[in-house]
Amino acid sequence: MPEENNNIFSNFFKINIAGELVSSLIVILIIVILSLIVGILAAKHDPLKKPKGLLLIAEIGVNFFDNFARDLVGTALPNFGGFIMGVAMYLFISFIFGLTGLPSPVTYMAVPLSLGLTTFLLIHYTSARYTKWRYFKRYIDPIPIFLPINLISMWAPLLSLTLRLFGNAIAGWALLSIVEYALRDLSSTLFSFIQSEWNQVFLAPLPLAILHAYFDVFSGLIQTFVFILLTSIFIGQEIPEDITLNTMERRKN
């Protein structure tokens, strides 16, 4: 299935490019368009009136992710909720993008790796920003002889986030492909009296619709939540507790 979709994109654009990357650009375009629409609606909205429709959904989403980030990361990173919201939107839309029949971006290793690498860099940037020179002490704790082990273990969040996303996405795609091919063969056998390729489509729609609802929608929602949860926890752990408390006190004052 991915090869067929990739061929469609390659034939259309006349360039050799992975179909999942094109899907990723489409997902980003969808998010940009939605953001522009919400921005225009917010600019025209009367602040004294209750928001409705898409603006109300956007406000609920912003409040949810701001509270989510504040609970897990604290107030030291005031704009972290916006980052998490953007990642969550991209991931969830990427998972359900397979419903269109086009390749899902998360089934291409480069996409989960890029998301995992973004979190990995933020983890170490946050740690270096708030702990200064103490950042390097983490590599020789509890004693300097642990330096090689600590240098290896530092890559654990990157591997964990990347492989979890890619593994779940590719497993869902593989199972859907196997079931689809099996149902097509069974349908063509049972309805072989119909002398047409249409004899393959009678058994597939309902089972595939149920599986797509689970792997693309439900599982996609779960994997999106797990990713942003782990990202928030990993980054929140790098902020010293005294800095978080001081930031909260300043905001209260």
Mind listing the pLDDT tens digit for each residue in 45-80? 888 888 888 889 999 999 999 999 988 888 888 889
SS3 165: helix
The pLDDT of residue 105:
92
User: Where is pLDDT greater, at 134 or 108?
Assistant: 108
Of 149, 132, 116, the closest CA to residue 226 belongs to 116
Give pTM, 2 decimals.
Answer: 0.82
Residue pair 29/126 in contact by the 8 Å Cβ criterion: no
The ranges assigned to domains in the chain are 2-252
Give me the mean pLDDT over the 75-98 stretch.
Answer: 90
| In the predicted structure, residue 19 carries a pLDDT above the cut 90 | no
> What's the token pair of residue 44?
């025209």
Nearest 5°: phi and psi at 14?
A: 60, 25
| In the predicted structure, residue 189 carries a pLDDT above the cut 90 | no
The pLDDT of residue 1:
47
> For residues 72-84, b (16+ Cβ closer than 10 Å) or e, as one string?
bbbbbbeebbebb
